[in-house]
């Protein structure tokens, strides 16, 4: 296959990855109480979110704080951890799904608040839950080409507004079981933020080399998950089936091109639910104990989900460990990226 069958990076490293947890814990039991009228009328049992999705709780931002403020905080933490100054950054990519306006970009506020230089390019990269990994790949290519030296990738997500609107719709007298199932995935979402600094590996001995990976599109499935500010509607089974097919195809094509991802020390996946995680583990025969799970307590934090999980795992990774980041985003798209810790 020609084109981007797989891709490799020559001199790029992950220098830091950080996360910010939203402070307000909201349990699935509380969601059941909010939806009690609808659950009773539609004869649906409580604890579906826990039993089916495996989500026990998720987080919301406290009043007065917001998703882009958290992205700014995560970005500042990442630069401090990487030991670089704002003036060193040549590229800022915001990968948040959450946004207040169609324009300007969310990135401009983050760029200004972090004191990045005028020479630093900044823009939003939107690709559903896969955006952060896409942002890392784009930044790595630009570093390898010599166009920039350091890149900052951020994501900040806020699930509360969408979930509040969903409660209102599902509790209407004319809502149906089909409506509930179509919006069930919305109730698994959570709020949080993450950031990563990427730079040239040769200037940072001991840093975490980004080796490369594979990306694949299954855009015939572009109508399986449609999300907006006020709601998200999902064909859960179609999304799972299409996503699995795409992941398996990408996995085997990567092996054909010389990648070997059996026996990795950690598989950091996009966090969605029990069924999604179990299906991925089974489909490509991952070692379950090497797949960290964060969705029971954070929910699905969109593109911030994978880097938040990676930031958590960073504390227990050792030099020489092999890490595979694996995500699927609505559309459908998948991407896998190997990092040599």
Active-site residue set: 103, 129
Give the pair of three-digit tokens for residue 58: 């998720």
Burial class (CB in 10 A: 0-12, 13-18, 19+), 254: buried
- Residue 153: what are its φ and ψ, rounded to 5°? -110, 130
Give the pair of three-digit tokens for residue 102: 């169609």
C-alpha–C-alpha distance, residues 92 and 95, integer Å? 10
For the stretch 174-183, contacts whose Cβ atoms lie closer than 8 Å and that sit 24 or more positions apart, written own/partner, are 175/38, 175/42, 176/42, 177/42, 177/44, 180/38, 180/42, 180/44, 181/236, 182/233, 182/234, 182/235, 183/231, 183/232, 183/233, 183/234
Euclidean distance between the first and the last CA atom of the chain, given in angstroms as a whole number: 29
Residue in 252, 307, 238 with CA at minimum distance from that of residue 284: 252
Q: At what angle do helices 305-313 and 131-145 cross, to 10 degrees?
A: 70
Distances (CA, A) of 324 to 82, 107, 268, 327: 21, 27, 6, 10
Q: At what angle do helices 236-256 and 274-283 cross, to 10 degrees?
A: 30
- Residue 174: what are its φ and ψ, rounded to 5°? -100, 5
CA angle 160, 116, 202 (to 5 degrees): 105
Specify whether the CB–CB gap between 129 and 305 falls below 8 A: yes
C-alpha–C-alpha distance, residues 210 and 137, integer Å? 9
C-alpha–C-alpha distance, residues 282 and 286, integer Å? 7
């Amino acid at each position: 296959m020609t084109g981007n069958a797989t891709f490799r990076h020559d001199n790029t490293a992950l220098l830091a990855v950080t996360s910010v947890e939203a402070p307000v814990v909201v349990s699935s039991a509380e969601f059941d109480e909010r939806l009690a009228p609808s659950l009773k009328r539609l004869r649906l049992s409580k604890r579906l979110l826990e039993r089916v999705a495996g989500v026990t709780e998720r987080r919301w931002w406290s009043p007065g704080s917001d998703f882009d403020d958290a992205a700014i905080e995560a970005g500042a933490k990442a630069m401090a951890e990487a030991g670089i100054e704002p003036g060193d950054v040549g590229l800022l990519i915001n990968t948040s799904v959450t946004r207040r306006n169609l324009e300007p970009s969310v990135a401009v506020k983050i760029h200004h608040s972090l004191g990045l230089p005028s020479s630093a390019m900044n823009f939003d990269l939107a690709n559903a839950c896969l955006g952060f990994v896409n942002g890392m790949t784009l930044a790595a290519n630009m570093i390898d080409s010599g166009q920039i030296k350091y890149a900052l990738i951020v994501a900040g997500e806020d699930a509360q507004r969408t979930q509040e609107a969903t409660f209102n719709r599902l509790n209407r007298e004319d809502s149906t079981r089909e409506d509930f199932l179509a919006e069930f995935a919305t109730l698994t979402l959570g709020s949080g933020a993450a950031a990563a600094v990427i730079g040239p590996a040769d200037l940072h001995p001991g840093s975490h080399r980004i080796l490369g990976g594979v990306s694949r599109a299954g855009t015939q499935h572009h109508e399986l998950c449609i999300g907006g500010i006020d709601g998200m509607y999902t064909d859960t089974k179609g999304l799972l089936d299409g996503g699995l097919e795409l992941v398996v195809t990408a996995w085997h094509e990567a092996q054909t091109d010389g990648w070997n991802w059996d026996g990795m020390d950690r598989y950091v996946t996009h966090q969605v639910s029990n069924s999604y995680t179990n299906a991925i583990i089974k489909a490509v025969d991952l070692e379950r104990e090497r797949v960290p799970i964060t969705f029971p307590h954070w929910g699905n934090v969109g593109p911030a989900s994978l880097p938040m999980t990676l930031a958590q795992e960073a504390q227990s990774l050792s030099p020489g460990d092999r890490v595979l980041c694996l995500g699927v985003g609505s559309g459908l798209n998948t991407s896998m990226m190997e990092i040599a810790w």
